[in-house]
């Protein structure tokens, strides 16, 4: 009898897997039985994730790729399939927040980079992942989004626009490829304790102010996002597609 969220025999690809949510998800998918392609821009940290998975008895390879480069995106999927023979699960997690500034002070160069990293990369990743999954008879794609995908993030018009776009891509692909056995969903994390978030929450007073606005009362951990990705990618989530899952301690219900 299989255990809940059993991913044995599945092949997963996780981008931005060198730290935070990506690292936790790569490790958790491996724990559930998946063979994992760990994708990261920084080789040293990406290989550390692979070493952690191997030390825990899992199976993983490292693929160095910068999702700002279209050729690298195509190559990461190709290398995953070449090594493992298939692709069943993809977690498109890599992204950036961008510079915080009033709308009228944002530069075109910052806009271009944030859109390229957070939206164009998702489009290209999904494109190549779908091609691979069509050959395998189906699969699950989970896109990492944000609460900024459904409401404005002040000072971050580029990030807000990109994340709104991610939800549009998610729904479009979910509807188009459901007949082919490919499910596509998005996760909107709330305040999750990661190195990236730490750059914006400076000190105990700032942390207390953030947590005061979270109904559950505290920030989340990367593993909580990892579990949601595993659920959506497992047999337990087999009837879910085109969904936006908020994993945010109740923030959006406010």
The Cβ of residue 229 has, within 10 Å, a number of other Cβ atoms equal to 31
DSSP for 214-236 reads -TTSS-B-HHHHHHHHHHHHSGG
Q: Is 137 left (phi over 0), alpha (psi -120 to 50) or beta?
A: left
Catalytic residues: 159
Q: Are strands 182-189 and 89-92 parallel, antiparallel or unpaired?
A: unpaired
Cβ neighbours of residue 110 closer than 8 Å, sequence gap 6 or more = 98, 99, 101, 158
214 within 8 A of 205, measured Cβ to Cβ: no
Q: Which of 99, 109, 125 is nearest to 16 (CA)?
A: 125
181 within 8 A of 239, measured Cβ to Cβ: no
Q: From CA 128, how far away is CA 175, in angstroms rounded?
A: 17
Q: From CA 131, how far away is CA 65, in angstroms rounded?
A: 19
Residue 107, CA atoms < 13 Å, CB-side half-sphere: 5
């Amino acid at each position: 009898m299989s255990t809940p969220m059993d991913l044995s025999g599945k092949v997963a690809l996780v981008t931005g897997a060198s730290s935070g949510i990506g690292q936790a998800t790569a490790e958790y998918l491996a724990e559930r039985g998946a063979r994992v392609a760990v994708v990261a821009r920084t080789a040293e940290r990406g290989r550390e994730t692979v070493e952690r998975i191997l030390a825990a008895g899992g199976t993983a390879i490292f693929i160095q790729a910068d999702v700002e480069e279209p050729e690298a995106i195509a190559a990461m999927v190709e290398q995953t399939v070449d090594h493992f023979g298939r692709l069943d699960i993809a977690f498109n997690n890599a992204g950036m927040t961008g510079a915080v500034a009033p709308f009228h002070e944002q530069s075109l160069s910052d806009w271009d980079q944030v859109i390229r990293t957070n939206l164009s990369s998702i489009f290209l990743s999904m494109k190549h992942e779908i091609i691979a999954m069509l050959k395998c008879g189906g699969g699950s794609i989970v896109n990492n989004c944000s609460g900024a995908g459904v409401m404005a993030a002040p000072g971050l018009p580029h990030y807000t626009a990109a994340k709104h776009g991610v939800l549009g891509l998610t729904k479009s692909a979910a509807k188009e490829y459901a007949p082919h056995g490919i499910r596509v969903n998005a996760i909107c994390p709330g305040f999750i304790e990661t190195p990236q978030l730490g750059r914006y929450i400076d000190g105990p007073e700032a942390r207390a102010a953030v947590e005061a606005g979270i109904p559950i009362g505290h920030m989340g951990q990367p593993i909580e996002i990892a579990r949601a990705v595993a659920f959506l990618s497992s047999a337990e989530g087999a009837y879910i597609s085109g969904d936006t899952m908020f994993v945010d301690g109740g923030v959006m219900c406010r």
